[in-house]
Structures are given as C-alpha cells and as structure tokens.
C-alpha cells in the first residue's frame, strides 16, 4: 500500500524515519508523548522505501526507527526539501515534481497531486509540455 515515508525531529538530535498512510495524524500521536516532535517532511513511498531509507542510514541508527541527526542525514533531508510545487493546475489537480538523487546525478520524478506518476523530466506528460510547465 502506498503512503508516505516521513522524517520527524524530536528536539534531541534524533530523526525518526517511519511509514504512514497519514503522517500528520501519526505526528499527533507522537505529540502526546513528546510535544517537541515535529514533522520535517514526507516523501511518497511504501514500506519498501522506508526499509531502503533505514538501510541507507544504518550508520546513523540508534534504535527502532530512530537515527542520529548526522550531517549526511541532514543533507539528505535538505535535498528532499528541494521538492517544489508546480504552480499550474492540470485537470483541476495540482501537480508537483520531486528531485531525487540517483547514480547518474539527480532525477526529476513528476506526479499528479493524487499521487499518480506523471513520468519523469525526460518523458513528461504531453499536457505539461503544451502548458510550458517543463
């Protein structure tokens, strides 16, 4: 099931990398235990992506889903925060694009607001090209 891989900061140099269908709801559950916790960002994904992120930052692992807020993890989060929204409406839906690192540099993945993939920067949707969005 597709949802979100989220990154939460707890105010003590720790980052939680978890998975949820609704990260904002999940955050409210955490706040009852630790009011300082804050949602830094979420990326579209599933439990497989969550496990990939856990493996990616295994050197920073503390326990469970908690990781030390290292410079490497911080740089990754900053890169993910480079996600931006395209300010055009397509079929009454907002569109967005995400920049993700890849072996060849960076990859632009394009999505409709409902989460459907719209392709990538090398193969964008025809209506985006017609509207001059890419």
CA distance 48 to 88: 31
pLDDT of residue 128: 59
pLDDT reading at 76 higher than 60? yes
Q: What is the pLDDT of residues 38-65, one digit of tens each?
A: 888 888 889 999 999 999 999 999 999 9
pLDDT of residue 111: 64
Lowest mean per-residue pLDDT among 45-54, 55-64, 100-109, 124-133: 100-109
pLDDT of residue 88: 38
Sign of CA dihedral 39, 45, 47, 48: negative
- Beta strand segments in the chain, E: 3-9, 14-20, 38-45, 61-63, 66-68, 84-90, 93-102, 105-112, 117-120
pLDDT reading at 119 higher than 90? no
pLDDT reading at 85 higher than 50? no
Q: What percent of the chain has pLDDT over 70?
A: 59
* Integer CA distances (angstroms), 49 to 31, 44, 96, 101, 122, in order: 24, 9, 19, 14, 23
pLDDT of residue 90: 45
Cβ contact 9:49 at 8 Å: no
pLDDT of residue 34: 84
Residues 52/101/71/11 CA torsion (nearest 10 deg): -60
Q: Could you tell me the pLDDT band of residue 74, with boundaries at 50, 70 and 90?
A: confident
Helical spans, DSSP H, in 14-130: 23-33, 47-56, 71-80, 126-130
pLDDT reading at 113 higher than 80? no
């Amino acid at each position: 099931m597709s949802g979100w891989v989220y990154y939460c900061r707890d105010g003590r140099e720790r980052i939680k990398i978890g998975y949820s269908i609704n990260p904002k709801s999940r955050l409210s559950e955490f706040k009852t235990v630790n009011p300082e916790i804050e949602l830094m960002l979420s990326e579209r994904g599933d439990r497989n992506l969550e496990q990939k992120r856990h493996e990616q930052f295994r050197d920073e692992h503390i326990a469970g889903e908690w990781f030390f807020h290292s410079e490497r993890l911080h740089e990754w989060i900053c890169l993910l925060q480079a996600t931006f929204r395209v300010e055009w409406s397509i079929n009454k839906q907002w569109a967005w694009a995400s920049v993700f690192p890849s072996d060849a540099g960076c990859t632009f993945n394009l999505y409709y607001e409902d989460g459907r993939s719209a392709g990538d920067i090398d193969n964008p949707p025809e209506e985006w090209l017609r509207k001059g969005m890419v």
